[in-house]
């Protein structure tokens, strides 16, 4: 009997839908690795801002990409304390994990992901991280572009009001208090940028399970996804 590798699970959706928390918990419960694709793009945005290069400067962005290495470094035994993630984000060997979660980097990230040169650099890296299976990929195009053949694809959504509230609370938890209306405008702008871009726009991947987390607890969302994983495993058992 040929043993199948563990499945690939993708979780896509707009900002504030709860993707990161949900993906981390799903990965922890399954003993899978979490691949935060957004963190990779944020790391590039960090490098761009540090170098003073505008996302509109395609030549400058190309030069930066050529001299920039972005990696997810395995935390090994320390990964368990991070809720199953097990990765540090490195830019040219420097750990920037704690520096890439600001609103400014989020907006720059959204602009960067619309550039083909950036996608061409990052998509093969993400596919390589998923190739062995037993991973949860979280982002905005993981099920539609990066791993369209994933065994389990989820589109996680929530209404704008709730997503803005969550984003405000997340910023406050990181010592970055922000006005709710400003955060709501930022989230709405990010939605437009992600959904209207020509290259790999945010959309529900074909065959994905849609979960609306507006009125659901994290536990309820996680259980729905674990149920989808179990159903997929039942369908592929021989």
Across the chain, mean pLDDT equals 88
pLDDT of residue 4: 57
- Domains, the chain, in order of start with CATH, read 8-227 (3.40.50.300)
Helices (H), 67-158: 103-112, 116-130
CB-based contact 10:143 (threshold 8 Å) = yes
pLDDT digits (tens, 9 = 90+) for 175-232: 888 899 999 999 999 899 889 988 889 999 999 999 999 999 999 999 999 999 998 8
Residue range 136-156: average pLDDT? 95
Give the separation between CA 159 and CA 165, rounded to whole angstroms.
10
- State pLDDT tens for residues 199-210: 889 999 999 999
Task: State pTM to two decimals.
Answer: 0.84
Is 238 a residue whose pLDDT tops 70? no
pLDDT category of residue 77 using cuts at 50, 70 and 90: very low
Region for residue 153 given its phi and psi (left: phi exceeds 0; alpha: psi -120 to 50; beta: otherwise): beta
């Amino acid at each position: 009997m040929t043993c199948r590798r563990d499945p690939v699970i993708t979780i896509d959706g707009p900002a504030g839908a709860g993707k990161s928390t949900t993906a981390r918990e799903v990965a922890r419960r399954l003993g899978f690795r979490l691949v935060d694709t957004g963190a990779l793009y944020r790391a590039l945005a960090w490098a761009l801002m540090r170098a003073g290069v505008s996302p509109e400067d395609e030549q400058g962005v190309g030069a930066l990409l050529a001299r920039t290495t972005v990696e997810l470094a395995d935390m090994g035994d320390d990964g368990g304390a991070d809720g199953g993630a097990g990765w540090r984000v490195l830019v040219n060997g420097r750990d920037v994990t704690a520096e890439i979660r600001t609103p400014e980097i989020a907006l720059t990230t959204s602009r960067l992901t619309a550039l083909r040169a950036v996608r061409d650099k990052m998509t093969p890296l993400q596919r390589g991280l998923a190739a062995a299976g037993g991973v949860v990929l979280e982002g905005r195009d993981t099920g539609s572009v990066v791993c369209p053949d994933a065994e389990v694809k989820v589109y996680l959504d929530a209404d704008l009001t709730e997503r803005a509230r969550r984003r405000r609370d997340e910023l406050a938890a990181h010592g970055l208090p922000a006005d709710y209306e400003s955060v709501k405008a930022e989230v709405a702008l990010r939605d437009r940028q992600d959904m209207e871009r020509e290259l790999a726009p945010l959309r529900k991947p074909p065959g994905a399970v849609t979960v609306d987390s507006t009125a659901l607890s994290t536990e309820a969302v996680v259980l729905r996804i674990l149920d989808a994983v179990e159903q997929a495993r039942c369908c592929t058992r021989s």
